[in-house]
Structure 1
Amino acid sequence: MFFTYPIAATNDNWLSSTLLDILQIALMALQNGQEPLDFQGSVPELYESEIARGRKFPGLYVAFVDACRPLEANQRDLILSALAGQNQFPELFAVDAPFHSIAEAFPAVHQATRSLFEYAFEKLSDLRTPGTDETVRARYHYLVHAHFEGGCCPFCGLEIMEAPDPDLVDPDLDHYLAASKYPFAGANLRNLTAMGTTCNRSYKGAQDILMDELNQKVHCFDPYGNEHVALSLDGTVLLPGAGAGPAWALTFDPDVESRNWRRIFKLESRIRANVLEKQYQTWLKHFITYAHRNEIDIAVKEGAIEAIAKFKATCDMESLPTVARLKSSFFALVENALNDPAGGDRMHNFLVEVA
């Protein structure tokens, strides 16, 4: 990821944690040969009035308990392990973290869990943290938007997300780990990420971000962690010859750790087609205009070097973070080529022709 979410945005995680506690208590009652409490009797007093507004919760809870009731004790232990394991953030992102799924072994329990937490996810847009006037989702949206200086999707850095405004539609709130596979995490804010519509609907969808195309566990970024990816055009050949445009090379650092993220969101293809091929000639025009307006004569090589150095410093002011990185890297390559004793004249002639 190019940047990550503020952990403070997950502070109002009470709905997920409350439901998980209720299910765990019910499972432990069954393990001890006791009848689980009814749903209303399990809800902490602090959240009673809010959760009562979710009218489907009691029935969905009963369906979960009924699905677990006929299981053997050792089978319910596996359900308890999945409940905890699917919510063990950020440890479950590690390559060697165990895989906790009950979809194949206990399909009835899996479906009951999925139904409960899909409903809980919907209610994030309706329920409020006690003592506040905002819904859980609205508060989350506000904190995330305030944290992202440019209001841009951190998965691509190419799409502006809607601001928190009652007249606007909230951005997509994506299940980082798909609710279809990890239902116990279906309402956990630690597993939810505000995401650009294109990234969410056109690329990620319900793909399992923990697995590669061969269904092997791979490194996964923690969206609320501190691991960020650097992007550059190092290795790009600007003037390959025969009138061809640049031979683009995209360098991501770290490389191996970012490969699955790049694959899922098709970043290389999107960046090449939508940014580099589409915009690099416009960038050159921006540079020429900048030089003219600042009365720098790029017909002289020293003038071109001066103009490039000054213009490059403005490139990181682009509003889209990925465009800013690419544009800065592009003109860093142009600057290096101009200062190259062997190829500087060729690059200078190219810029003069563009002008």
Structure 2
Amino acid sequence: MFFTYPIAATNDNWLSSTLLAVLHDALVALQHGEEPLGFQASVPEPYKSEFARCHKFPALYGAFVETCRPLQAEQRDDIVLALAGQNQFPELFAINAPSHGIAGTLPTVHDAARSLFEYAFGKLSDLKTPGSGETVRGRYHHLVHDHFASGCCPFCGLEIMEAPDPDLVDPDLDHYLAVSKYPFAGANLRNLTAMGTNCNRSYKGAQDILLDEQHQKAECFDPYGNEHVTLSLDGTVLLPGGGAGPAWALTFDPDLKSLNWRRIFKLEARIRANVLEKQYQMWLKHFTVYAKRNGIDIAGKDGAIEAIAKFKATCDMESLPTVARLKASFFALVENALNDPVGGDRMHNFLIESA
């Protein structure tokens, strides 16, 4: 990821933590041969009034309990492990961590949990933390928007997400671990990420972020962690010859850990088609206009070198972070080529022709 989410945005996580505790207590009661409490009786006092507004919770909770009632003790132990394990953030992102899925072994329990937590996820837009004037989702949206200086999706750095405004539609709130596979994390803010519409609907969808294309456990970023990916055009050949445009090379650091993220979000293809091939000639025009407006004559190579050195410092003013990084990297390559005693004249001629 190019940047990460503020952990403060997960503070109002009482809906998920309450549901998980209620289900855990019901499973423990069944294990001891006792009758679980009713749903509303299980909810802690501070949240009773909010849960009471959501009329489907008791029935969905009851359906979950009934699917667990006839099971063997060992099976209920597996459910307890899944309930905790699917919410073990950030430990579950480790490549050797188990995924704790139960869809294959206990499909009816999985489906009951999914129904409950999908309903709970929808209620994030309605319920308010006691004492707050905003819904849980509204508060989350404000905190994330304030944290992201560019307002861009951190998975691509190319798509602006809508700002908090009553006249605008909130950005997609993606289940980082898909609710279809990890239902117990379906309302956990630690598993939810505001995401650009294209990234969410066209690329990620319900793909399992923890698995690679061979369905093996893969390296995975923690969206609320501190690890960021850097991007450059190191290795690009600007003038490959034969009248061809640049032979682009994209360098991500870290490389291996970012591989699955890049695959799921089709980053290389999107960057090549939508940014590099589409915009690099426009960038060159930006450069020539800049040089002219600043009175720098690029007809001579020394003038071109002076102009490039000054112009590349403006590239980080691009509003889209990924475009800013690529543009700065592109002109760093141009500057190196101009200063190359062997290929400098060729690059200078290319800049003059592009003007």
Shorter-chain TM-score range: over 0.9
Aligned ranges 1:1-355 → 2 under 5 Å: 1-355=1-355
Q: 2:130 and 2:147 mapped to 1: Cα distance?
A: 23
Q: 2:68 and 2:4 mapped to 1: Cα distance?
A: 37
Amino acid at match of 1:190: R
Q: 1:99 and 1:164 mapped to 2: Cα distance?
A: 34
- How big is the shift at 1:95? 0.3
Q: 2:291 and 2:13 mapped to 1: Cα distance?
A: 52
Please give the per-residue CA displacement for 1:49-80, whole angstroms capped at 9, x wherever unaligned.
01111110000000000000001111100000
Q: 1:226 and 1:141 mapped to 2: Cα distance?
A: 20
Question: Stretches of 4+ moved more than 2 A in 1?
Answer: none
Q: 1:99 and 1:7 mapped to 2: Cα distance?
A: 22
Q: 1:334 and 1:281 mapped to 2: Cα distance?
A: 13
Amino acid at match of 1:200: N
- How big is the shift at 1:242? 1.1
Amino acid at match of 1:314: T
Q: 2:311 and 2:240 mapped to 1: Cα distance?
A: 24
TM-score, scaled to structure 2: 1.00
- How big is the shift at 1:350? 1.0
- How big is the shift at 1:352? 1.3
Amino acid at match of 2:207: Q
Amino acid at match of 1:213: E
Q: Specify the SS of the correspondent of 1:211.
A: coil
- How big is the shift at 1:29? 0.4
Q: 2:354 and 2:87 mapped to 1: Cα distance?
A: 56
Q: 2:256 and 2:75 mapped to 1: Cα distance?
A: 37
Please give the per-residue CA displacement for 1:245-276, whole angstroms capped at 9, x wherever unaligned.
00000000010100000000000000000000
Q: 1:224 and 1:52 mapped to 2: Cα distance?
A: 31
Q: 2:224 and 2:168 mapped to 1: Cα distance?
A: 25
Q: 1:40 and 1:60 mapped to 2: Cα distance?
A: 12
Q: 1:40 and 1:50 mapped to 2: Cα distance?
A: 11
Amino acid at match of 2:332: A
- How big is the shift at 1:353? 1.4
Q: 1:74 and 1:346 mapped to 2: Cα distance?
A: 73
- How big is the shift at 1:99? 2.1
Amino acid at match of 1:26: A
Q: 2:270 and 2:299 mapped to 1: Cα distance?
A: 35
Structure 2 unaligned residues grouped into runs of 5+: none
- How big is the shift at 1:104? 1.0
Identity of aligned residues (%): 81
TM-score, scaled to structure 1: 1.00
Matched positions, count: 355
Q: 1:234 and 1:138 mapped to 2: Cα distance?
A: 41
Q: 2:206 and 2:162 mapped to 1: Cα distance?
A: 22
Q: 1:40 and 1:246 mapped to 2: Cα distance?
A: 64
- How big is the shift at 1:205? 0.3
- How big is the shift at 1:109? 0.5
- How big is the shift at 1:349? 1.1
Q: Specify the SS of the correspondent of 2:65.
A: helix
Amino acid at match of 1:15: L
Q: Specify the SS of the correspondent of 1:244.
A: coil
- How big is the shift at 1:149? 0.1
Amino acid at match of 1:216: Q
Please give the per-residue CA displacement for 1:129-168, whole angstroms capped at 9, x wherever unaligned.
0000100000000000000001000000000000000000
Q: 1:145 and 1:324 mapped to 2: Cα distance?
A: 20
Q: 2:300 and 2:232 mapped to 1: Cα distance?
A: 28
Q: Bigger CA drift: 99-108 or 227-236?
A: 99-108
Q: Specify the SS of the correspondent of 1:313.
A: helix
